[in-house]
């Protein structure tokens, strides 16, 4: 058996303003730091002494680096850019209101926008493919990974496709600074999960 914790980074300006942003390297805002502190005091994160032998991983973007630091301080960890959020390309740092009248945006959201590629960006399908490749290096190990909402949702939907409580992609997306604990069996198959959130 092995265990992987997947946590979404804390709140940023992009979250607050409801912007399309994935590859843009935004820091946490004060509200994001305070939200992590609230969750630390509520003890939703595992105590460091319980997971000190885990591999700690971020995506190398500042919001994941800051989130790990706010939870555990300066600890040794790896970075893996393959677990970065969906790149929205030309739509980065823009909102629906900014984009709704653009033809390229309408073309992207019309039809299957999971497979449609953003101009100069990615599709959800591309993001998931690279995330699954990255996770091959971690499944079978005990890991604490701070990454992004889209990545986590895609992985959970793939690992637990028959779960009746969360069949849709967005239903799997955790709130900022919350996430999942996933257990894998000896055959490296995900067998159960626990949603870790502020009650």
Task: Indicate which CATH number applies to the domain containing 30.
Answer: 3.40.50.1240
pLDDT confidence of residue 114: 85
Query: For the chain, what is the mean pLDDT?
Result: 96
Look at residue 164 and tell me if it is in a domain: yes
> Under a CB-based contact definition with an 8 Å cutoff, are residues 126 and 113 in contact?
no
pLDDT confidence of residue 169: 85
The total number of structural domains in the chain stands at 1
| Domain boundaries, position 62 | 2-88+123-196
Look at residue 104 and tell me if it is in a domain: no
Look at residue 13 and tell me if it is in a domain: yes
Look at residue 37 and tell me if it is in a domain: yes
pLDDT confidence of residue 64: 98
Look at residue 105 and tell me if it is in a domain: no
Confidence of residue 73 (pLDDT cuts 50, 70, 90): very high
Dist CA 61 CA 185 (whole Å) = 31
Average pLDDT rounded to a whole number, residues 68-88: 98
Residue 60's contacts (CB-CB under 8 Å, 6 or more residues apart) are: 79, 80, 81, 84
| Residue 168 pLDDT > 90 | no
- 115-147: pLDDT as tens digits: 999 999 999 999 999 999 999 999 999 999 999
Look at residue 6 and tell me if it is in a domain: yes
Look at residue 27 and tell me if it is in a domain: yes
- Lowest pLDDT segment from 68-77, 88-97, 104-113: 104-113
Report the first-to-last Cα separation within the chain, whole angstroms. 28
Look at residue 108 and tell me if it is in a domain: no
pLDDT confidence of residue 150: 96
């Amino acid at each position: 058996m092995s265990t992987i914790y997947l946590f979404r980074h804390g709140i940023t300006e992009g979250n607050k303003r409801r912007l399309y942003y994935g590859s843009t390297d935004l820091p946490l805002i004060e509200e994001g730091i305070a939200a992590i502190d609230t969750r630390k005091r509520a003890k939703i994160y595992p105590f460091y002494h319980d997971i000190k032998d885990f591999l700690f991983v971020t995506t190398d973007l500042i919001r994941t680096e800051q989130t790990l630091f706010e939870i555990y301080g300066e600890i040794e960890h790896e970075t893996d850019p393959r677990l970065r959020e969906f790149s929205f390309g030309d739509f980065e740092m823009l909102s629906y209101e900014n984009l709704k009248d653009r033809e390229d945006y309408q073309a992207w959201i019309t039809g299957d926008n999971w497979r449609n590629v953003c101009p100069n960006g990615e599709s959800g399908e591309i993001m998931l493919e690279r995330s699954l490749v990255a996770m091959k290096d971690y499944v079978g190990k005990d890991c604490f990974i701070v990454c992004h909402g889209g990545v986590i949702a895609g992985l959970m939907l793939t690992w637990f496709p028959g779960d009746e409580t969360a069949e849709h992609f967005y239903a799997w997306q955790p709130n900022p600074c919350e996430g999942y604990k996933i257990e894998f069996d000896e055959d490296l198959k995900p067998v159960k999960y626990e949603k870790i959130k502020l009650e």
